[in-house]
Structure 1
Amino acid sequence: MKAGALSCALAPDIGGSILSFDRDGVALLRRAPQDSHDPLDMASFPLVPYANRIAHGRYSVDGQSYQLPLNFGDHPHSIHGFGWQRPWHVLEQSGHNVRLEQTHDGDAGWPWAWRAQQHVRLGEDALDVTLLVQNLGDSAMPCGLGFHPYFALDGDTMLRFHADTLWLSSPDMLPEREVSADALGDWSQGARVTGDSLIDNVHGGWDHVALVDRGDGIRLTLTAQGADWLHVFRPPAGDFFCLEPVSHMPDAINRPVGMAMLAPGATQSLSMMVAIREI
């Protein structure tokens, strides 16, 4: 897709991922390597029917216990749902709009059937993506959604957003302790993103806006609806970082905060927009 100076390429068969999002040939999100078929190499991918981690892939609903596959190598938890590891199908396509769909019939690990759709729209100054999931089963389904965009990073990139709290993580990357939102970076005032330590933490009470000011004078404004949590992932000394708007904290299904329960036939949605302007 192309609109003015912006262009966006999709890979429906690679987890419904975004391959690239550029402005005049300059990467705004990290570009996927040529010929890669790994969703983790993409510019962004959807999180459905849950976001981030479920501890050891185990959870219970209405007294019934379930075991999800551990889907991330030797990592001890199930992560990011499974929509990102299965192909999506193109329902509609026009010059600036694409609609993708994926269905799940229910299985031992996630017995509820559902239908998910992504609506991807490219304008001359923004990329807008909406993710929807509908419960096709006959009982209430736990449901969580999110996006996993990888922002291109240079040494001058600044990040600013407001949240109420931050969860520090255990060694196996589960939320362990709630602290001040700026404990790992002065994000509320704006701070440089680069660093030598790993950040892989979720922020609660996010106000749904994050500003990314790049060294080349471009500001990216991430806004999201249906996402009260923002997960920040910054590998040490990397060339990207992730701002993941999500509907729940990691392992919420096993914690008092819980996940949304979607009634039969009901739909849940989450949208993300990345707007671009010069500063």
Structure 2
Amino acid sequence: MIVLESGAARLELAPEVGGAVVRFTVDGRDVMRPARPGATDALDTTNFPLVPFCNRIPDGRFVFEGREVVLPPNLGDHPHALHGQGWRRAWTVETAAAAEATLVYDHAPSDWPWAYRAEQRFELSETGLRITLSVTNAGDAPMPAGLGLHPYFPRRAGEVLTAPVDGVWMIDESVLPTTHHVGVWGADWAGGAAVEGYPGLIDHCYTGWSQRAVLTAPGQPDTTITASPECRWLHVYVPPGEDFYCVEPCASRPNPFGAGETGMVTLAPGQSRSIWMNITAG
């Protein structure tokens, strides 16, 4: 466990569990959902990195520059490869100081046939947290790359999410994107909408995000999420009956090798890509 502190803020990291955050508090308040006790799966933590792609690749199959790649499922019996490799691997502590830490993950070619180095830099202030996630092509051939972050938040009574967006990708029964819907569908996040009260699962990628979202609840401090300009997509996950939800800044969308603009870029050998996310309390 790595612990950072700055004034009344405290951050706990578990490098061996997908390089995940396991708790972030300010003045003793959980700004993000604390990890489940003894968590050994990144899905049970507070935040984890999406690298080198976000969300689902249909059946794990895609073609890049003439090379066919097949990735194995990495979420139980779910058939689609999800979120890359970083969240399923242990990370190494490169540096750790009072209020800053850097974790790294070095990927050797495997089912994902490109070598890369991923890095997370955590910077804690008295009221907020900044995470910078980067990936560097460590191989000798061009590599596709997309990045995102997966923070969890406690679903407080009366919670409202405000996040300017201009559309949403609809999904099928296996949570793959199907068609792009322009404008409001379901919850009007752009105008501010309650997180509670929607039937079924929300697990959708929203387009045209302004890189700012505000989480509000009656009588409690606001939480503000901001992200780098590359994060043009916002994935919102609200599972029915749970006490948490996710608001995920992403620089690429689900089905990242599908048609149209997906946010994936090609990194030449030695080239890097990075994004950042700030979470501010109060």
Q: TM-score, normalised by structure 2?
A: 0.95
Secondary structure in 2 aligned to 1:149? strand
Paired position in structure 2 for 1:144: 146
1:86 aligns with 2:89: yes
Residue 254 of structure 1 and its aligned partner are, at CA, apart by: 2.7
Q: Which amino acid aligns with 1:82?
A: Q
In 2, Cα distance between equivalents of 1:132 and 1:244 = 16
Q: Deviations over 1:124-170 (max 9, x none)?
A: 11100000110011111010111000011112111001112111101
- Counterpart position of 1:178: 180
Worse overlay, 190-199 or 41-50: 190-199
CA displacement, residues 84-133 of structure 1 (integer Å, 9 cap, x when unaligned): 000000000100000000001111x2111101110001101110000011
Q: Report the CA distance between 1:179 and its aligned residue.
A: 1.1
Cα distance in 1 between the residues matched to 2:43 and 2:201: 17
Q: What residue is the counterpart of 1:239 in the other structure?
A: 243
SS at match of 1:45: strand
Structure 1 residues 272 and 183: alpha-carbon distance in aligned structure 2, compared to 1, 3 A threshold:
same
Look up the match of 1:28: 31
CA contact (8 A) 1:194 1:237 kept: no
CA distance in 2, matches of 1:247, 1:181: 20
For the residue of structure 1 that corresponds to 2:69, the secondary structure is: strand
Q: Give 1:1-279 correspondences, 5 Å limit.
A: 1-107=4-110, 109-195=111-197, 196-225=199-228, 226-258=230-262, 259-277=264-282
| Structure 1 segments unaligned to the other structure (5+ residues) | none
Contact 2:26/2:126, CA 8 A, preserved across alignment: no
Deviations 1:148-197 (A, max 9, x none): 00011112111001112111101111111111342121111111111342
Distance 2:77 2:48 in 1: 21
Q: CA deviation at 1:36?
A: 1.7
What letter matches 1:114 in structure 2?
Y
Q: Distance in 1 between matches of 2:241 and 2:182?
A: 24
Deviates more, 1:65-74 or 1:189-198: 189-198
Q: Which deviates more from structure 2 when the two are superposed, residues 172-181 or residues 238-247?
A: 172-181
Matched residue SS, 1:252: coil
Q: Which amino acid aligns with 1:246?
A: C
* CA distance, structure 2, for counterparts of residue 11 and residue 182 of structure 1: 38
Shift of 1:22: 1.2
What is the aligned length? 276
Query: What SS does the aligned partner of 2:257 have?
Result: helix
| Worse overlay, 250-259 or 22-31 | 250-259
Any idea what the Cα deviations from partners look like across 1:8-28, whole Å, max 9, x if unmatched?
100001000000111222211
Please give the alpha-carbon distance, in whole angstroms, between the structure 2 residues aligned to 1:211 and 1:255. Answer: 31
Amino acid at match of 1:266: Q
Task: Report the Cα offset of residue 243 of structure 1.
Answer: 0.6
Q: Which moves more between the two structures, 215-224 or 135-144? A: 215-224
Unaligned runs of 5+ in 2: none
What letter matches 1:242 in structure 2? C
- Give the Å deviation of 1:63: 1.5
Distance in 1, Cα, partners of 2:212 & 2:226: 5
